[in-house]
Amino acid sequence: MSTDTQHLQPARRGETVLIPRHSVVTRLTHWVNVLCFSVLILSGLQIFNAYPRLHWGQVGADADPAFITIGASGGQGEPQGHLTIGSFSVPTTGILGLSREDGRWTPRAFPAWLTLPSYQDLAAGRRWHFFFAWLFVINGLVYIGNGILSGHFRRDLALHRHELAPRHLGREILDHAHLRFPQGDDARHYNALQKLTYIAVVAVLLPTMLLTGLTMSPGVDAAFPVLLDIFGGRQSARTIHFITASLLVLFVIVHLAMVILSGPWNNMRSMITGRYAVRQEGPDA
C-alpha cells in the first residue's frame, strides 16, 4: 500500500482530522495489483504443480539433483507428503505434496484450493498467468510513472541519513516488535523500515520476478540470450522466480498483518476514499 502524504493541516491538539493520503492513481493501481498478484500466485502454483522440482543451472530433469522438491512418497505402507530443500526434508502431508481431495489422498505439490484452475491443467494455468503478468507490468509502469511525475517517490520514499543510523533503525525495529505504531504527525509519512521495504519490493523483487519470468521463455532467450548468462540458465531462473514470488507472498502477509494491527478501518478507508484519520498530538496548530 503506497502513501501520498500531504502538507500538515491546521488542527487543535487531541482533534482527529482526515488528511488526503492516497491519490486516485495510487488507489486504482493498488487494487489492480491486488487482483493481478492474486491470480499470478494461484496460476503460478498450477504451473509449478506440473513439475514440482526446482533445479539450478541450465538443465533439469527427474534424474538431476533438485534444489527444492515438493512431492509424495510411500512410507511404511502409507503415502506421505514432503518438502525437500537440498538434503533437508520435512513431512507436509495434508498441506504440501499430498492432499485429500474427493475423500482420497492425492499426490499434488499444492492443494487444489490453492491453484487456478483448481484441477490440473497446465495450459489453462499458463494462459491465466501470462495475461495477468502483462497486466501487472502495465499497471506497475503506470504506478511508477505517476510516482515520478507527482513527486511521490522523491517526497515519500527518499531516505535521509539519520534514518539509516543503526540506533534509529534499531528503535524502529523494537517499536514494530512491540506493535507500537506511529501516531499523530509521525503517521503522516513512511518510517525508515517502510521505505526500505518498499524500495526492496519495487526496485529489486518485482524486477527480478519479471526478468526471471522472461528468461523461462525460449523465444525471449533467443532474442536476449544475455538473460541466460545473468541468471545462470533457465532452471536457475525458474528457481529464482519461485523464491522471489515466495518473498513477495511473505511481504503481503506482513503487510496485511500491519494493516490489521495498526487500524484496519482507517487503512482501508485511506485506500478506498484517499482520506486517512490522524490525531493531532502536538500543540494547537
pLDDT, tens digit, 9 for 90 and up, residues 102-147: 888 889 999 999 999 999 999 999 999 999 999 999 999 999 999 9
DSSP structural state of residue 121: -
Helix (H) or strand (E) holding 244: helix 234-261
Cα 107 from Cα 99, distance rounded (Å): 7
Question: What residues are paired with 71 via a beta bridge?
Answer: 82
Average pLDDT on 61-73 reads 85
Going across the sheet that includes 53-54, the strands are 53-54, 68-75, 78-85, 88-91
Highest mean pLDDT among 33-42, 151-160, 256-265, 274-283: 33-42
Determine contact, residues 152/1, Cβ cutoff 8 Å: no
Rounded (to 5) percent helix, strand, coil in the chain: 55, 15, 30
217: three-class secondary structure by DSSP: coil
**Domain 16-52+111-279 CATH (choose: 1.10.10.10, 3.40.50.10310, 1.20.950.20, 3.60.20.10):** 1.20.950.20
Cell matching residue 142: 503506470
Cα 280 from Cα 285, distance rounded (Å): 9
Cα 180 from Cα 262, distance rounded (Å): 9
- HSE-up of 54 (CA within 13 Å, CB side)? 21
Q: What b/e sequence results for 77-103 when a residue is b if at least 16 CB atoms lie within 10 Å of its CB, and e otherwise?
A: eeebbbbbeeeeeeebbeebbbbeeee
pTM of the model: 0.86
Domain boundaries, the chain: 16-52+111-279, 64-108
Q: Which amino acid is at 46?
A: Q
Position 15 pLDDT exceeds 80: no
Q: What percent of the chain has pLDDT over 90?
A: 54
